[in-house]
Amino acid sequence: PKDVGILALEIIFPSQYVDQTELEEYDGVAAGKYTIGLGQQKMGFCSDREDINSLCLTVVKRLMERHGIAYSEIGHLEVGTETIIDKSKSVKTVLMQLFEPHGVTDIEGIDTTNACYGGTAALFNAISWVESSAWNGRCALVVAGDIAVYAKGPARPTGGAGAVAMLVGPNAPLVFDRGVRGNYFKHAYDFYKPDLTSEYPVVDGKLSIQCYLDALDNCYQLYCKNVAKKLNTKVNLNYFDVMLFHSPYCKLVQKSLARLALNDFIMTPKENRTKQFPGLENFASTSLSNSYFDRDVEKAFLGYSKEFFDRKTKPTLLIASQIGNMYTSSLYGGLVSLLISKDISELAGNKIGLFSYGSGLASSLFSITVTRDCNEASPLYKLVSNLRHVKPFLQQRQKVAPEKFEAALELRQRNCHKAPYEPTGPTDNFFPGTYYLTKIDEGHRRFYDRI
């Protein structure tokens, strides 16, 4: 099949949020630490009415309804998540409740887990299925979703929640480039979830940032090599019209773009540097491994890449800044942000670079080429038009005071894995079409209703 890529996209997020300025004050930290230091405006969070199953049910049902997709059109379904509520039973099997009434049970794929990377792994599996001998002409559906919550402390403001569903098949408007991915996998204990009774990770913040930047360096260098070999083209930042990153918090994304500029600098022969990087000659002795936390290098390359950032990356951070880290769905929330921020004629023909990172660690840098056809009958136009609701939904959310946010997290913490359990969170503030938890019985079986 030709032009395998994304045919349709849907995103969901909580209908309530806590304001990061108010949270700074409530937490007693310096004003600006979360909003300027981390670059976060608002953080979405879930009450005890929502879990990973309900988020994924909602996003799949909405995708099918909004895009008019028949359940029988799906032949592969895979969920990427690190929000685990059952060590054996997958979220995918829960989603089968939507397909069974239509007589559809012939669907390959299952759940995939490694921190924030699971969504990308699920996506790669979906692409492989469509390109393989197992393909039966139907589409693949990829779901990435998570509830990101941290124990009280410096990591808590980097939480969030949400889910993205992507329909993958041939002749798509967002086409995955073949044979150029750069991957980097390694053993690291930067962020992991060894306590199976808790939703919270064990996280070494500083190490996680270093691992993220190290993974980015390695994936980018390999991607550049692969494109040079395959297409005989030299890659630097100018190769991309848009650069998207997994976003734990927006400031790290801006630093990551600066890091790519540093990579370009290091990969440029010394004699050409003055022309391409005027004023940065002093950094000739900088190496990647000695500069993860070098303030001077960071500042210089942040300045150098600022204009590129404003034009090519900032628009992709809309949802991340308004919701927070959605773990597996964060990168794809970035893609949605891009699609709702740019005019369709500006999007047509774009080359989009995507960097996916999951602690532990797993990472890939890959790319998408947007088709040029953007008239009103085009698949690109249809895909983008079906995301018109996202901005209004972001606006319609309800602001909740930090005290109530803390109480909601405490309630989740106290009742994590409890059975039987009757959730008490309100149901009247959900967006229409939201699935929510009605009860967990004594056998830990979960039941849902839809608003």
State CA 392 to chain mean position distance: 20
Interface residue with ligand ACO among 1, 31, 233, 279 (CB under 6 A) is 31
Cβ at position 199, least distance to ligand ACO in Å = 14
Residues 261, 266: Cα–Cα separation, whole Å: 9
Q: Does 417 participate in catalysis according to the annotation?
A: no
255 annotated as belonging to a binding site for a ligand: yes
Cβ at position 330, least distance to ligand ACO in Å = 8
Which CB atom, from 38 or from 149, has the smaller least distance to ligand ACO?
Answer: 38
Total number of residues that touch ligand ACO (CB under 6 A)? 21
Among 56, 78, 246, 250, the active-site one is 246
Q: Is 334 in the site for ligand ACO (CB under 6 A)?
A: no
Which CB atom, from 75 or from 145, has the smaller least distance to ligand ACO?
Answer: 145
Binding mask 101-140 for ligand ACO (x = CB under 6 A): ---------------x------------------------
Q: What is the DSSP string of 265-286?
A: HHHS-HHHHHHHSTT-GGGTT-
Q: For residue 154, count other CB atoms closer than 10 A to its CB.
A: 15
Q: Which stretch binds ligand ACO (CB under 6 A): 15-23, 36-44, 46-54, 433-441?
A: 36-44
341 annotated as belonging to a binding site for a ligand: no
Which CB atom, from 209 or from 344, has the smaller least distance to ligand ACO?
Answer: 209
Cβ at position 273, least distance to ligand ACO in Å = 26
Q: Is 53 in the site for ligand ACO (CB under 6 A)?
A: no
251 annotated as belonging to a binding site for a ligand: yes
Q: In terms of DSSP bridges, do strands 74-80 and 42-44 run parallel, antiparallel, or are they unpaired?
A: unpaired
Paired with 351 in beta bridges are 369
Binding mask 147-186 for ligand ACO (x = CB under 6 A): -------xx--x----------------------------
Q: Which residues are catalytic?
A: 82, 116, 246
